[in-house]
Amino acid sequence: MKMFRNVDVGALANFYFEGKVSSRTLTLANGEKKTLGVMLPGEYRFDTAQNELMEIQAGKVHVLLPGQTEWLIVESGGEFEVSAKMAFDIKVLEPTDYCCSYFE
C-alpha cells in the first residue's frame, strides 16, 4: 500500500458524474498535487488541464487514450498517462480506487 506522509488534504471532496466519481486533493510537502479517488462502474469522459498519471490501486477499467482506436485494459497495479489539454474515455468495470498525479 502506498503511503503519503506530511501532506495537506482538501476537506472538500470533488464529485463528478452525479457522484459516481469522487476524489480528494492532496498537496505534498514539495508542492506536488495528487488526487485520490473512487470511480463507480460506468462510462465517463475526462478532459485534462495538466499532464496526468493515473494509477489504478484496485479495480479494473478500459481506457481509450487520445488518438488511439483500441481500448487499453488497466487493472490493479496498472497505470496510464494522458497529456495536458486532451480528453480520454474510461469504462469502469468495477468499483475502482485510483491515484492521479499531475506533472509538467
Model confidence at 90, pLDDT cuts 50, 70, 90, reads very high
How many whole angstroms separate alpha carbon 17 and alpha carbon 8?
25
Domain annotation covers residue 31 = yes
Provide the domain limits for residue 13: 8-103
In a domain, 52, yes or no: yes
Whole-number Cα distances in Å, 93 to 9, 37, 102: 28, 16, 24
Is 1 inside a domain boundary? no
Domain count, the chain: 1
21: domain CATH number? 2.60.120.10
Residue 2 in any domain: the answer is no
Task: Work out the percent of the chain whose per-residue pLDDT is above 70.
Answer: 99
Res 1: pLDDT: 54
Query: What does the DSSP 8-state code read for residue 17?
Result: T
The three cell numbers of residue 39 are: 470511480
3-state secondary structure of 78: coil
- Report pLDDT digits (tens) over 10-56: 999 999 999 999 999 999 999 999 999 999 999 999 999 999 999 99
Confirm whether 61 is domain-assigned. Answer: yes
For the whole model, what pTM was predicted?
0.91
pLDDT of 5 reads 87
Question: Which cell numbers in the block locate residue 64?
Answer: 481509450
